[in-house]
Structure 1
């Protein structure tokens, strides 16, 4: 029995080891398969990611590129990329990149989706193309405080101790009057890239306003007063108001006056962009002049061109119903003019003005009406940002302080880094708004 028992014991252990060995072998095979699948999936993911990055780079350098790619070999696999415009008005672009790696039952695909949209000028706390009026320098002075991203394609001129809270940059450097000591709390770049202002920014808003927005035409002046989610408008100071419920009157958030001047004020509830375009008006006239050689009178024709409309006047405070500094707010406003944006010289603006908006002047700038003759009028309390072709004056100063007009208290609305008013003019560059892997 002892011998047979030992034999059975040996056979039993042998069977156990055979089963264990087989299981170990199966585990090893499955582990190998899992490792291979992971390797294949990882490569498919990397290839799809590469295709998305390559396509995004193409769009960044050529905004109109929509060709995509078909079956491009890459790193042992291949990618195909579809690039299409999914919102023609906002120019939103969707990139779909499919990466493939492996063969047979070890073949894997992965998809990466990226959405791009034009970068908006509303992301700047302050932007200018030129920092002079003609040959006259406009200075940043000791009472000036600017929040948010700051850029000028010109030179920054400093007189005293202005404070720049965000990142500041300029294309042409900086000039500091003797004894000046500016504070750049977010850093300063003195030779940044030049960024041109687009010519079609206002026109694009007009196109949008004719497609589900509010469009005013054939008027010289349009008066607008925001009343929360309603808007009062009229076509003269002594005319009667007409009231509109804005969510119905402007479904896409655009309010546009074609070849007209806008005068506005009020409390804004919602997301809107107010814009005014200009029209060049050509007039022909003439006079009779004696021609000695021909010994008769000849008609001398003269042609003059004037600008109609394109200006926006802020007749009083323009603020949000829900102040984003005090709590959550989805109110956001763009003020866009082809010509100047002016703070009106009137009694309502004699002691400070509050502006909550991102402002854009395509060919001129933001300034104070009668800046050199109106009394000292306190502060411009701006929450938002300013983009302008030419910096304009809001007041005059001496060694004793502000003599006429306003001091500046510009505070950036941090929400503008990630959101912008409807159809606000873009920089011409794209930025990523979503990336799904």
Structure 2
């Protein structure tokens, strides 16, 4: 009995000793870990500050690529490197091999900042890009006061207006919504981020439009008269040219032989089935005469690479009889459409009878929102709307489709801090 108590007492002494030793070790480690943590945070904060400096410089001057190198910056040695598309294509060895840009182009810039203290080293990596306007399912510069989003409207991609949305009921916005102004009225449903204090986004100007024209001349297809563009399912396009009173016999082009731009300084009429990637550009107006569909429907085949962009420096008009092209009702359009002056709209939308449903898969960017139908006593004139987003437009864009004038972040990546001991 006495021996058992002695063993128990001895065991307790040993346990207490072990606990005391563990507590002592922990107490010794706390100052070291606190110091390490402080060094890690300091290095990372300095690296992030240098990165924010670089982004601000590019916002002020988009050609800025000087970077930064300072030996004493907030008790740290820092560098900032700026890599553009030329660095990427030239294989600049300083570009991190583990960068996360999967679609580097001439609109993309990679910035890498580094901060070193006596005991820690941190890296921050940020990619910025000028987004293609085709990423927007809906974009306007101006929202007319008499046009609203209603119950039943669903927008499932990025949405922006430089004006103020007018809302009645509870339309659903499934993608990001941005505007400098809070919406008027309604009880909208937002399923993604919203920013109603965002900056305005300028619509494309002369530089972007000149880029389209020049690519039409150099590697594309260019006309100086009215043309009728009819797409064929085999990847060709028939183009009829107007001499002012009649149409010429068609000239057939294989889209694979060109850079994808079809441009005219006059009006363009169009319809057909698109196989390949193409951007129609008119310095005047584009009129849609019938269905514009992809040979490979991306909703049925996500691997489809068919893509159409329509850029009009005037309006984009749906012809009053376009719904009759493939039957008596309905019209299907697969495209990203931009009307710079001023709208995508239906001809005679406020007269006649119900023309069925306008099924648009893609996106709309317009200077001012246009009308496609009008509710009347006893029915509707023009079209009902069935607009859906083409998710591929988040990462793909039609050839030489205009880009935003400012940069946005593709990603911000903080790499693990390395302790130097």
Is the 1:225–1:232 Cα contact (8 Å) retained in structure 2?
yes
> Is 1:316 paired with 2:331?
no
2:210 alignment counterpart: 203
Aligned-CA RMSD value: 3.8
2:141 to 118, 122, 129: 129
* Preserved CA contact (<8 Å) 1:79 1:97: no
Note the 1:227-238 alignment, pairs <5 A: 227-236=233-242, 238=247
After TM superposition, the structure 1 = structure 2 runs for residues 7-406 of structure 1, keeping only pairs within 5 Å, are 51-71=50-70, 73-74=72-73, 76-83=75-82, 85-86=84-85, 91-95=106-110, 97=112, 99=114, 101=116, 115-132=127-144, 137-142=146-151, 144-159=153-168, 162-176=171-185, 183-186=189-192, 192-200=198-206, 201-212=208-219, 214-236=220-242, 238-250=247-259, 253-257=260-264, 259-277=265-283, 310-328=284-302, 329-346=304-321, 347-348=324-325, 351-398=329-376, 400-402=378-380, 404-406=381-383
Match of 2:134, SS? helix
Paired position in structure 2 for 1:415 = 392
Structure 2 distance, partners of 1:87, 1:232, is: 37
Does structure 2 retain, via aligned residues, the 8 Å contact 1:333–1:358? yes
Q: Say which SS state the counterpart of residue 397 (structure 2) adopts.
A: coil
Counterpart check, 1:424 vs 2:410? no
TM-score in terms of structure 1 length: 0.69
Structure-2 change in CA distance of 1:343 and 1:188 (3 Å): same
Query: Cα 1:189–1:434, aligned 2, differ >3 Å: closer, same or farther?
Result: closer
Count of aligned residue pairs for this structure pair: 356
TM-score after normalising by structure 2: 0.71
Aligned partner of residue 279 in structure 2, secondary structure = strand
Q: Distance in 2 between matches of 1:122 and 1:157?
A: 23
Larger-gyration structure (1/2): 1
Secondary structure of 1:196's match?
coil
Asked if structure 2 preserves the Cα contact closer than 8 Å seen for 1:81 and 1:97, the reply is yes
Summarize the Cα distance change of 1:97–1:191 in structure 2 as closer, same or farther, 3 Å threshold.
closer
Q: Against the structure 1 CA distance between its residues 95 and 44, is the aligned structure 2 distance closer, same or farther, given a 3 Å change threshold? A: farther
The CA distance in 2 between the partners of 1:109 and 1:158, in whole Å, is 51
Residues in 1 aligned to 2:411 and 2:56: alpha-carbon distance in whole angstroms: 15
Whole-angstrom CA distance in 2 between matches of 1:245 and 1:435: 42
Q: CA deviation at 1:326?
A: 1.4
Q: SS of the counterpart of 1:318?
A: strand
The DSSP-based 3-state class of the residue aligned with 1:63 is coil
CA separation of 1:142 and 1:93: change in aligned 2, threshold 3 A: closer
Mean CA deviation greater in 339-348 or 412-421 = 412-421
CA distance in 2, matches of 1:193, 1:392: 23
Residues 83/41 of structure 1: CA separation in 2 closer, same or farther (3 Å cut):
same
Contact 2:307 2:335 in 1 (8 A): yes
Distance between the aligned counterparts of 1:186 and 1:401, measured in 2?
A: 34
